Structure 1
């Protein structure tokens, strides 16, 4: 029996007469399958066209990246078109560094980049977060006159958005000669990426006033994400009306509108949009479940979660439901759902486990936290910065500081959140010196602290009674790191000054704070009033209590502390008078309470 070997794919019989260059170019343009490309390339050699530059351009354009690199390695003098094709291919394959290496090679060969070179080079620079290189290549493009091309300008704008260099992004945008819709979209997107949501909305409003361009799907989706972050329901409704009248609903727009209404608290509107979606994807299911869960409507969230079984649930939806339980301290329900997730064969990701660890930390549920940690180890889930930070916080809030430190030391890549977690863990558990030593290590590692890091540092200074260190770190927030102090930072420093008896300095510090927001200033005065009680400074206590009364009208917190100050100074009549005044206004002090976690679920 003769067995015939089946060809990989039908292919025309080779022609009797030689093919022309144009015929090969047409074949390469139409080629969609690599085995066919190999055959065409072989025929090029037999026809003597393998070195023809026009044919090479089409061959490299049609090839996948590995094959294109092989062809490129055999080209004696690559042209600018060939370099552009390879830079584009490498950028699209996320080979950012090799794309930039080709750019350097192009320059070294004496070739001059054109408008097709820069967009993908800018893309690579943005992804590599190399600001210095970005500015250098931008300057090179400017000198070459390439920035007169809108496509190049938009690419430079997008690069600065990726780099977080918004001052340069604005400058590039303002200098674009003819702004198109993409220019506006990239600017709005840059602001959203950098969480400058107010400026994203301002750019959208500016686009409506200054441009004839009409918002498209990209404009709407990006601006709606800014509305969601700002809870700007009015603008969200305005965009919804525009979509209904001019643009029409698409799956992306439906998901964005649903998410916006849900996170702005309009659950009924969000549910109507959800019910109107014909083909529901995991994004809209997750948005609706998360919306109910975040508002404490866990029964409705769970009912919708169970209903999603019809369309199939993935780990994102499971995690959203688990997060809802954790948010409202129902850790047992979260753990039960996690076990069911395993039974259903849905593999959790790190975000699912981070949610569980967060719940364990909130309740001080050490045994459950250890179980999650063991699950990570048994299933060989890498402990990266995100998971490591959750473990550090869980063990710290359960009082296992040494374990927090061990986990931190094992992390290969420590980001700001990881450093902040371990510093706060040490500070929270009274290890002030260790916390400050870790902060010094963080500075030596070149990791930039954020506002939460400084809460931990200042807390450590307060617990350790390190006044000079506290002053220095507080000053460095604005002078060195450009971090604006918030009420927590002022509270830590005023507490530190109060404990050290530096009451006048604490009062001067509060006077520098704007008193527009009473919720900001009142806790600071409360902390200082407590210090006045400790040092029996009646005169300052009376003055601070009056200011608190002006700011927090109808609140008896200042009077409660003032009565204590009078009692400490044995001014019984004054103390009685203040308490009588409080009784007349029916003030009552809320009793303290503690929580103990019993019967952990194993």
Structure 2
């Protein structure tokens, strides 16, 4: 049995046959079998062997439980985990450090962090594994501050020295929290006490790159004796995130090995900087290299199609998803919904939405915003009601879609109610986008005084925000012909941002609507004196899968392209 369960020597299937022939297996035999099955990833079979052990009247020991708990944690079997915990208490092994560490690790995989905390605090003796599994559990479930707190306690309260797993988990928390002060402190500890390994180098580099310390990340990268695909990906992603696309391209071109994650990072970089043609070319090259795209590659490309309104290419990507058996889960489904909605195919978005089996907040939000954007306000509000009935909590972006739907439909009272419910029921602090939707709603309904009062009550003195909100109010003044308020708002806007051409153009149009031609001429002369130029219009069109952009006044394209 022991020989056959050794992965480098034996054969697990043959070991199972031997196990089946043993008439009275001892606890040692059961332990060997459970350990082998768990290490092989046959978690369900490992639990079945454990149940047979119990049926035979044998009592598990501290060699049995750790592998059973690992199997339960990997399967996510909460009730099974609690049952095994009960067996541990009955056998008096709850104070065994080895078994308690395994319990903490199991509950960490199950996401039951209250149990993790209780078990950890009850331990009379903690070894390095105790600290590591606790830190790792908090990191796994996004409790990064708690992970850092445990690490600090480890340094202050114990004689246990941080090892590689401790460093890797804590640096991951530092990266998420952008806590570079602690990150540097750990970096110094590694340099002086522990020594660098490939795993530590990778996570250090990733932390600095994700937090924007690209020069430090590059220094670590250049000094690494061996570079795996993970560190190449971290550097490319970091450069993309912080606006250094040329450096990202240079590193990507140099990378000797590329997996789907690295290809996707570079494709996403092109999409992020509106170089969609380059993104598609890179995707074609990726296919020629026989690298199979995953759902994140598809989402990056669909995002590019949505930004450009490239329906034909979006449909081709949708076909690729179906042909290659990529599951249309909430992530892919949301990207498809958004792409079709921004391309004007809202019925197709609804069709995709219905196909998504497990809809999360992002999927509901995407369809609600898409419906609002395409003028289907009543359907958007109907789905918002269904979303709440399904027990899915909306987020701040959901309410932008809801308020926008109210604005397009002229539902003033409903808009007010949704705005207040956002704060009072869901505890979501309004952002300037929400105020903008409400101001737009009031403006369309002719409630200009209420809109102006709302702007003055907004707790934000950012010039960018004020320009946007007052701009919406000025636009409403033009629609309703309120010259007096238009002049007042225009003066405020001129004090904030005199170079914004839209302010001057809106005021000129207000004067023109009121037939105050001299005032209109004066505004245009002021624009000329201040050197304010109207921002040219820009549009795009997709023909045979190629997206072309056109700017007003551009004579660089052939006459046929300009419609002449």
* TM-score category, normalised to shorter length: 0.7 to 0.9
CA pair 125-452 structure 1, distance change in 2 beyond 3 A = farther
Matched position secondary structure for 1:272: helix
- Maintained 8 Å contact 2:167/2:186: yes
Which residue in 2 is equivalent to 1:148? Answer: 122
Q: Is 1:486 equivalent to 2:466 in the alignment?
A: no
User: 1: CA distance between counterparts of 2:244 and 2:385?
Assistant: 45
In the TM superposition, residue 60 of structure 1 has moved relative to its aligned partner by: 7.1
Alpha-carbon displacement from aligned partner over 1:408-437 (angstroms, at most 9, x marks no partner): 111111111111111122111111111111
- Once structures 1 and 2 are overlaid, which stretch shifts more, 590-599 or 71-80? 71-80
- Maintained 8 Å contact 2:73/2:109: no
CA pair 544-354 structure 1, distance change in 2 beyond 3 A = same
- Maintained 8 Å contact 2:422/2:428: yes
Q: How does 1:246-257 map to 2 (within 5 A)?
A: 246-257=193-204
Matched position secondary structure for 1:529: helix
Which residue in 1 is equivalent to 2:561? Answer: none
Which residue of 83, 89, 97 corresponds with 1:102?
83
Which residue in 2 is equivalent to 1:288? Answer: 235
Which residue of 304, 312, 316 corresponds with 2:261?
316
Q: How does 1:223-234 map to 2 (within 5 A)?
A: 224-225=171-172, 228=175
CA pair 276-444 structure 1, distance change in 2 beyond 3 A = same
In the TM superposition, residue 499 of structure 1 has moved relative to its aligned partner by: 0.8
Which residue in 1 is equivalent to 2:48? Answer: 69
Which residue of 532, 536, 554 corresponds with 2:481?
536
Q: Is 1:189 equivalent to 2:136 in the alignment?
A: no
CA pair 437-128 structure 1, distance change in 2 beyond 3 A = farther
- Once structures 1 and 2 are overlaid, which stretch shifts more, 535-544 or 511-520? 535-544
Which residue in 2 is equivalent to 1:177? Answer: none
Q: Is 1:508 equivalent to 2:482 in the alignment?
A: no
CA pair 123-146 structure 1, distance change in 2 beyond 3 A = closer
Matched position secondary structure for 1:482: coil
- Maintained 8 Å contact 2:151/2:170: no
- Runs of 5+ unmatched residues, structure 1: 1-7, 12-26, 156-179
- Maintained 8 Å contact 1:240/1:257: yes
User: 2: CA distance between counterparts of 1:532 and 1:508?
Assistant: 14
Alpha-carbon displacement from aligned partner over 1:40-98 (angstroms, at most 9, x marks no partner): 997894xxxx57xx758856775636366336425455647488457514335434235
User: 2: CA distance between counterparts of 1:479 and 1:114?
Assistant: 45
Matched position secondary structure for 2:538: coil
User: 1: CA distance between counterparts of 2:360 and 2:487?
Assistant: 46
- Once structures 1 and 2 are overlaid, which stretch shifts more, 356-365 or 252-261? 252-261
- Runs of 5+ unmatched residues, structure 2: 38-42, 548-564
Which residue in 2 is equivalent to 1:425? Answer: 370
- Maintained 8 Å contact 1:326/1:358: yes
- Maintained 8 Å contact 1:525/1:548: yes
- Maintained 8 Å contact 1:227/1:260: yes
Which residue in 1 is equivalent to 2:554? Answer: none
CA pair 243-68 structure 1, distance change in 2 beyond 3 A = closer
- Maintained 8 Å contact 2:34/2:46: no
Matched position secondary structure for 2:535: coil
In the TM superposition, residue 282 of structure 1 has moved relative to its aligned partner by: 1.2
Which residue of 308, 312, 322 corresponds with 1:367?
312
Which residue of 67, 80, 91 corresponds with 2:72?
91
Q: How does 1:225-244 map to 2 (within 5 A)?
A: 225=172, 228=175, 240-244=187-191
Which residue of 281, 288, 302 corresponds with 1:357?
302
Matched position secondary structure for 1:323: helix
In the TM superposition, residue 253 of structure 1 has moved relative to its aligned partner by: 2.8
User: 2: CA distance between counterparts of 1:41 and 1:290?
Assistant: 52
User: 1: CA distance between counterparts of 2:192 and 2:3?
Assistant: 51
User: 2: CA distance between counterparts of 1:63 and 1:518?
Assistant: 65
Matched position secondary structure for 1:597: strand
- Maintained 8 Å contact 1:114/1:146: no
User: 1: CA distance between counterparts of 2:478 and 2:528?
Assistant: 21
Q: Is 1:378 equivalent to 2:358 in the alignment?
A: no
TM-score by length of 2: 0.78
CA pair 527-325 structure 1, distance change in 2 beyond 3 A = same
User: 2: CA distance between counterparts of 1:70 and 1:377?
Assistant: 40
- Maintained 8 Å contact 1:389/1:417: yes
User: 2: CA distance between counterparts of 1:427 and 1:412?
Assistant: 23
Q: How does 1:309-348 map to 2 (within 5 A)?
A: 309=256, 312-348=257-293
User: 1: CA distance between counterparts of 2:292 and 2:353?
Assistant: 26
User: 1: CA distance between counterparts of 2:95 and 2:2?
Assistant: 39
User: 1: CA distance between counterparts of 2:168 and 2:423?
Assistant: 35
CA pair 530-152 structure 1, distance change in 2 beyond 3 A = farther
- Once structures 1 and 2 are overlaid, which stretch shifts more, 447-456 or 591-600? 591-600
In the TM superposition, residue 283 of structure 1 has moved relative to its aligned partner by: 0.5
- Maintained 8 Å contact 1:532/1:541: yes
Which residue of 472, 476, 494 corresponds with 1:527?
472
- Once structures 1 and 2 are overlaid, which stretch shifts more, 344-353 or 208-217? 208-217
Alpha-carbon displacement from aligned partner over 1:290-309 (angstroms, at most 9, x marks no partner): 34445665565445334334
User: 2: CA distance between counterparts of 1:388 and 1:436?
Assistant: 20
User: 1: CA distance between counterparts of 2:415 and 2:47?
Assistant: 59
CA pair 293-147 structure 1, distance change in 2 beyond 3 A = closer
Alpha-carbon displacement from aligned partner over 1:167-187 (angstroms, at most 9, x marks no partner): xxxxxxxxxxxxx96599469
